[in-house]
Amino acid sequence: MSRRLYHADGQMLDVLRVDTKTCPELAALVQISNDGGTAIFDPTNGFVRFPGGAKKFTIRHDPQSRLYWSLASIVPRQHTNTDKPSRIRNTLALVCSKDLKEWDTRCILLYHPDVKNHGFQYVDWLFEGEDLLALCRTAYDDGEGSAHNYHDANFLTFHRVKNFRKLTMADSVELP
């Protein structure tokens, strides 16, 4: 899955997920010609470290903060050796970048310690004033147990992330 967007320098980019075997997760920045007819990828400089880059993500530019933002299914440190990064979806984080190349994890929004049956994934979202509104395909406990696995979600959940620009790691949900 990818998201085409315009970089601050006017260059259109296609930001693609990358399936890596280990962390850190990566994304690929593919340059798109102005007419949309040519894609150029430089394997030497085109890969960037992107938390959540092995799963679907949406990136949007915020004119107010002049940052790029995403809600990404990241792999927290305690799960880096658990499985392939694309299979770890138990942590949803707010991440941002000034240039699409260096990403900062601002806040952990959702977390469950179990990676097998819990997941927050395929998140799409939009800006609403000072908040973000998001829909998330969620695999979680439902009163009869948990979802079949992290991928076979049993919920579609709605989230409002209030004052997202001001959030820091100190605002994160509790991690073990």
For 48-96, what is each residue's pLDDT tens digit? 999 999 999 999 999 999 999 999 999 999 999 878 999 999 999 999 9
Residues with Cβ within 8 Å of residue 77, at least 6 apart in sequence: none
For 122-163, what is each residue's pLDDT tens digit? 999 999 999 999 999 999 999 888 899 999 999 999 999 999
Check pLDDT > 50 for residue 121. Answer: yes
How does DSSP assign 74-127, residue by residue?
---GGGTTTS-GGG--SEEEEEEESSSSSEEEEEEEEE-S-SSS-EEEEEEEEE
Report the distance separating Cα 159 and Cα 135, nearest Å: 6
Instruction: Tell me what pLDDT residue 34 has.
Output: 86
Instruction: Tell me what pLDDT residue 4 has.
Output: 57
Instruction: Tell me what pLDDT residue 2 has.
Output: 45
Whether omega for the bond prior to residue 24 falls within 30 degrees of 0, making it cis, is yes
Check pLDDT > 60 for residue 1. Answer: no
Domains of the chain: 2-171 (2.120.10.10)
Check pLDDT > 60 for residue 8. Answer: no
Q: Taking the model in full, what pTM does it have?
A: 0.93
How far, in whole angstroms, is CA 10 from its chain's centroid? 23
Q: What is the largest CA-CA distance in the chain?
A: 53
How does DSSP assign 19-78, residue by residue?
--SSSSPEEEEEEE-TTS--EE--TTTSEEE-TTTTS---EEEETTTTEEEEEEE---GG
